């Protein structure tokens, strides 16, 4: 009996996939070369090709691919149209260990943590709600410093005074998170989170709640769009824009606005910061897994700039019924930023 053309193609595809999986399993060096290629593809912004290939590596047992895929699932702050359009079953098959006969398959992070892989265990613990100062040091030692963001915020929020004091002087404290710790350690003050961010940005510790412009800027730094003061005449706005365009923690914003809005780079960066939720949200555009994608490489990648724009594009009001800002509202800060967001929304 003759095979149909479709049957032959299906058989050949299955054989090719089996051969590829065997190569990845038997030749670690080959798998690492593939991982480097796929990582570069993901950093270029191509989810449709990169994620399935990364999943193939994960299924073949590559630890780095498994951890990276698990972190992308939860740490990608600006999901692509490809990911947004994906149905739940497809997402499970892509991001999780679909070989287990369970309704909701485990993440690859859980799979590796159960085996005792040190990075997986530490990264899993980093999502917990209890203060854990040693974990912050451990993440740095393991090469995953940016993953200490959540443990740092939890310790600042719920830790003892002694733990906060220790962390304040600890070399593992990420510099951009120092304002958050200061806000929750120092005596309470009105809009203290935003004021702490403004002092950090400007280097001026004398700024206080009696400064009307500072309080207006503190609102937008703390909470983002629709809060505080985005007026171009605010005395602190030029310094905030300069910081956004020059500080390593905000490099993806600068890359986006310098490239796409060179005539309005400062205003564009301010709009993107506001639409991303303010200072404390903007600084968390990070590598999902630094041991595979160093932070410096990630911050300079098209993916990072794309994440800033997509996050601004997809941000919605608290009711979740409308966009956080329409084109005319965003244009009050930067017309170019409004145009970027409008064009990006058309892709979803």
Per residue of the chain (348 residues), give pLDDT as tens.
Answer: 444 433 443 343 344 444 445 544 546 666 789 999 999 999 999 999 999 999 999 999 999 999 999 999 999 999 999 999 999 999 999 999 988 767 778 999 999 999 999 999 999 999 999 999 999 999 999 999 999 999 999 999 999 999 999 999 999 999 999 999 999 999 999 999 999 999 999 999 999 999 999 999 999 999 999 999 999 999 999 999 999 999 999 999 999 999 999 999 999 999 999 999 999 999 999 999 999 999 999 999 999 999 999 999 999 988 778 899 999 999 999 999 999 999 999 999
Q: Domain count for the chain, please give it.
A: 2
Q: Answer yes or no: is 257 within a domain.
A: yes
Phi first, then psi, for residue 321 (nearest 5°) are -100, -10
Expressed in angstroms, the distance from the first to the final Cα of the chain is 47
pLDDT at 103: 72
pLDDT at 17: 45
Distances (CA, A) of 209 to 110, 176, 180, 182, 206: 46, 22, 17, 16, 10
Distances (CA, A) of 193 to 17, 154, 202, 215, 268: 52, 15, 14, 11, 23
Q: Answer yes or no: is 172 within a domain.
A: no
pLDDT at 8: 40
* Domain range enclosing 38: 1-103
Rg (CA), the chain: 22
Of 80, 103, 126, the domain-final residue: 103
Q: Do residue 217 and residue 98 come from a single domain?
A: no
pLDDT at 99: 80
Nearest Cα neighbor of 140 from 159, 109, 119 is 119
Of 49, 82, 103, the domain-final residue: 103
Q: Answer yes or no: is 141 within a domain.
A: no
CB 57 within 8 A of CB 70: no
Q: Answer yes or no: is 49 within a domain.
A: yes
Q: Answer yes or no: is 110 within a domain.
A: no
Q: What is the 3-state secondary structure (H, E, C) of the chain?
A: CCCCHHHHHHHHHHHHHHHHHHHHHHCHHHHHHHHHHHHHHHHCCCHHHHHHHHHHHHHCCCHHHHHHHHHHHHHCCCCCHHHHCCCHHHHHHHHECCCCCCCCCCEHHHHHHHHCCHHHHHHHHCCCCCCCHHHHHHHHHCCCHHHHHHHHHHHHHHCCHHHHHHHHCCCCCCHHHHHHHHHHHCCCCCCHHHHHHHHHHHCCCCCCCCCHHHHHHHHHHHHCCCCCCCCCCCCCHHHHHHHHHHCHHHHHHHHHHHHHCHHHHHHHHHHHHHHCCCHHHHCCCCCCCCCCCCHHHHHCCHHHHHHHHHHHHHCECCCCCCECCCHHHHHCCCHHHHHHHHHHHCCC
Of 53, 81, 103, the domain-final residue: 103
Q: Do residue 89 and residue 218 come from a single domain?
A: no
Nearest Cα neighbor of 182 from 58, 171, 260, 169 is 169
Q: Answer yes or no: is 7 within a domain.
A: yes
Residue 35, CB-side half-sphere exposure with 13 Å CA sphere: 25
The model's pTM is: 0.88
Q: Answer yes or no: is 60 within a domain.
A: yes
pLDDT at 298: 98
pLDDT at 15: 40
Phi first, then psi, for residue 96 (nearest 5°) are -125, 170
Q: Answer yes or no: is 277 within a domain.
A: yes
């Amino acid at each position: 009996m003759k095979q149909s053309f479709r049957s032959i193609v299906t058989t050949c595809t299955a054989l090719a996939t089996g051969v590829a999986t065997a190569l990845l399993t038997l030749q670690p060096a080959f798998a690492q070369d593939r991982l480097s290629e796929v990582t570069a593809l993901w950093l270029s912004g191509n989810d449709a090709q990169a994620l399935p290939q990364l999943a193939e590596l994960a299924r073949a047992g590559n630890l780095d691919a498994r951890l990276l895929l698990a972190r992308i699932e939860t740490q990608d702050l600006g999901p692509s149209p490809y990911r947004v359009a994906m149905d739940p079953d497809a997402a499970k098959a892509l991001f999780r260990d679909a070989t287990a006969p369970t309704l909701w398959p485990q993440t690859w992070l859980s799979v590796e943590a159960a085996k005792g892989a040190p990075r997986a265990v530490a990264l899993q613990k980093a999502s917990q709600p209890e203060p854990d100062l040693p974990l912050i040091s451990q993440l740095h030692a393991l090469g995953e410093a940016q993953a200490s963001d959540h443990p740092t915020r939890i310790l600042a929020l719920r830790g003892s005074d002694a733990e906060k004091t220790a962390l304040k002087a600890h070399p593992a404290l990420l510099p951009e998170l120092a304002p958050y710790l200061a806000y929750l350690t120092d005596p309470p003050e009105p809009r203290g989170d935003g004021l702490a961010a403004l002092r950090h940005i400007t280097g001026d510790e004398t700024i206080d709640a009696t400064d009307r412009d500072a309080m207006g800027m503190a609102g937008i730094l703390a909470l983002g769009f629709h809060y505080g003061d985005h007026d171009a005449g605010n005395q602190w706005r030029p310094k905030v824009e300069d910081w956004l365009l020059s500080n390593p923690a905000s490099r993806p914003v600068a890359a986006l606005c310098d490239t796409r809005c060179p005539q309005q780079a400062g205003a564009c960066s301010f709009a993107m910061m506001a639409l991303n939720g303010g200072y404390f949200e903007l600084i968390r555009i990070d590598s999902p897994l630094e041991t595979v994608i160093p932070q410096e490489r990630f911050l300079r990648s098209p993916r990072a700039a794309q994440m800033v724009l997509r996050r601004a594009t997809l941000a919605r009001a608290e009711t979740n019924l409308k966009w956080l800002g329409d084109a005319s509202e965003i244009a009050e800060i930067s017309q170019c930023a409004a145009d970027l967001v409008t064009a990006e929304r058309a892709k979803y």
